[in-house]
């Protein structure tokens, strides 16, 4: 059995940007994080290999990116079997059934996470761990004991209290494996923008609409919506904005369309956070954005075509 990978420079850059978050996950939550990531990656590659083994196609490096992104969105103590079910479902039904790389309408990592979020709600919403604040973190441990602690948004919903911005910025808060340290996410995101790996239109449209919408709701006195800065740094919003929403396959191809697409995600995230059962909302907002991406492109092309005819 010969397994070959298709080299993809853009996917390689995303992996580089994610390495600090992987290392932070190991530091905060122990070496179980690495074991979980390797297991998920092997399972994802196996699913894709089953589909391409009898053709001239190769396993794409994109599936490795999908595996990393998916793993970093999981709670630190998620059971291995739950994680494997999610990634298998995500790669199979979020990518391969549509024809493989370049044809998937939805982000496969989020398809997998949404599936286990709905089917294993207790595991995905209640098993949170506060990262270690020791000098070596949890580098000397395989895993850490379960310490029941709400994520910042869950805590805000329940009590209205907000954590210290320093803890949120550095990552000393409960949350998913790779979504807690705002500074590392920002560094990785800036690298993606600098190398033009991530579309700046999507990021700016998303963050801009999120700040405007949450700011208006705060001004109107909607108590379940935190101030825009706190909202930006919590709930995986930055991670989703830089690494998930910018997936080039499931997002619009037109420049103007990406602004609209990002704005839709930013707006829907605020609405879900404030009025739905889900405290985060970013995952579902991006999947909703994926749904409208082709339509957005068609509308943009139609408007441009009409303008050319009028000016021609």
The answer to whether residue 310 sits within a structural domain is no
Greatest Cα-to-Cα distance within the chain, rounded to the nearest angstrom: 69
The answer to whether residue 35 sits within a structural domain is yes
The answer to whether residue 277 sits within a structural domain is yes
Distance between CA atoms of residues 111 and 292, nearest Å = 16
Secondary structure, 3-state, 114-159 = HHHHHHCHHHHHHCCCCCCCCCCCCCCCCCCCCCCCCCHHHHHHHH
Contact predicate 63/6, CB 8 Å:
no
The answer to whether residue 309 sits within a structural domain is no
The b/e string for 32-59 (b: 16+ C-beta within 10 A; e otherwise) is bbbebbebbbebbbebbbebbeeeeeeb
What confidence score (pLDDT) does residue 1 get? 47
Q: Which domain holds residue 236?
A: 5-301
Report the CATH number at residue 97. 1.10.3430
Distance between CA atoms of residues 109 and 123, nearest Å = 18
What confidence score (pLDDT) does residue 149 get? 64
What confidence score (pLDDT) does residue 204 get? 96
The answer to whether residue 87 sits within a structural domain is yes
The answer to whether residue 60 sits within a structural domain is yes
Interhelix angle 282-311/255-275, nearest 10 degrees: 150
- Find the angle CA(110)-CA(250)-CA(186) to the nearest 5 degrees: 65
What confidence score (pLDDT) does residue 3 get? 57
The answer to whether residue 188 sits within a structural domain is yes
Number of folded domains that form the chain: 1
What confidence score (pLDDT) does residue 158 get? 67
Distances (CA, A) of 271 to 68, 155, 157, 262, 278: 28, 18, 14, 14, 10
Write out the DSSP string of the chain.
Answer: ----EE--HHHHHHHHHHHHHHHHHHHHH-THHHHHHHHHHHHHHHHHHHHHTTSS--EETHHHHHHHHHHHTS-TT--HHHHHHHHHHHHHHHTGGGTSTT--SS-HHHHHHHHHHHH-HHHHHH---PPP-STTTTTT-S---------HHHHHHHH-----HHHHHHT-S-S-TTSS-HHHHHHHHHHHHHTT-S-HHHHHHHHHHHHHHHHHHHHTT-TTS--HHHHHHSTTHHHIIIIITT-TTTS-SSHHHHHHHHHHHHHHHHHHHHHSS-S--HHHHHHHHHHHHHHHHHHHHHHHHHHHHHH-
pTM: 0.91
Each residue's pLDDT expressed in tens, for the chain with a length of 312 residues: 455 556 678 889 999 999 999 999 999 888 999 999 999 999 999 999 888 877 767 788 899 999 999 999 999 889 999 999 999 999 999 999 888 888 899 999 999 999 999 999 888 887 777 777 677 778 778 877 665 666 777 777 767 677 777 777 777 777 889 888 889 999 999 999 999 999 999 999 999 999 999 999 888 888 888 888 888 888 789 999 999 999 999 999 999 999 999 999 999 999 998 887 776 788 999 999 999 999 999 999 998 888 788 876
């Amino acid at each position: 059995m010969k397994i070959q990978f298709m080299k993809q420079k853009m996917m390689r850059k995303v992996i580089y940007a994610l390495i600090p978050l992987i290392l932070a996950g190991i530091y905060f939550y122990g070496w179980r994080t690495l074991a979980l990531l390797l297991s998920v990656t092997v399972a994802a590659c196996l699913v894709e290999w089953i589909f391409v083994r009898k053709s001239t196609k190769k396993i794409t490096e994109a599936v490795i990116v999908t595996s990393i992104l998916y793993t970093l969105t999981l709670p630190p103590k998620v059971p291995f079997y739950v994680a494997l079910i999610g990634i298998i479902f995500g790669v199979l039904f979020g990518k391969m059934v549509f024809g493989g790389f370049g044809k998937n309408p939805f982000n496969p990592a989020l398809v997998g996470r949404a599936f286990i979020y709905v089917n294993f709600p207790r595991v995905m919403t209640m098993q949170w761990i506060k990262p270690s604040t020791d000098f070596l973190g949890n580098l000397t441990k395989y895993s850490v004991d379960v310490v029941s602690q709400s994520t910042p948004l869950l805590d805000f919903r329940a009590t209205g209290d907000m954590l210290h911005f320093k803890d949120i910025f550095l990552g000393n808060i409960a949350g998913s494996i790779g979504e807690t340290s705002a500074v590392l996410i920002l560094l990785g995101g800036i690298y993606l923008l600098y190398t033009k790996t991530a579309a700046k239109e999507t990021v700016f449209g998303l963050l801009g609409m999120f700040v405007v919408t949450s700011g208006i709701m705060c001004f109107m006195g909607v108590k379940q919506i935190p101030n825009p800065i706190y909202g930006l740094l919590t709930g995986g919003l930055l991670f989703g904005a830089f690494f998930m929403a910018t997936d080039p396959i499931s997002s619009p191809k037109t420049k103007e369309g990406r602004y609209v697409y990002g704005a839709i995600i930013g707006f829907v995230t605020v609405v879900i956070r404030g009025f739905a059962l889900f405290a985060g909302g970013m995952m579902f907002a991006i999947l909703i954005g994926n749904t409208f991406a082709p339509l957005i492109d068609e509308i943009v092309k139609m408007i441009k075509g009409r303008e050319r005819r009028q000016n021609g």
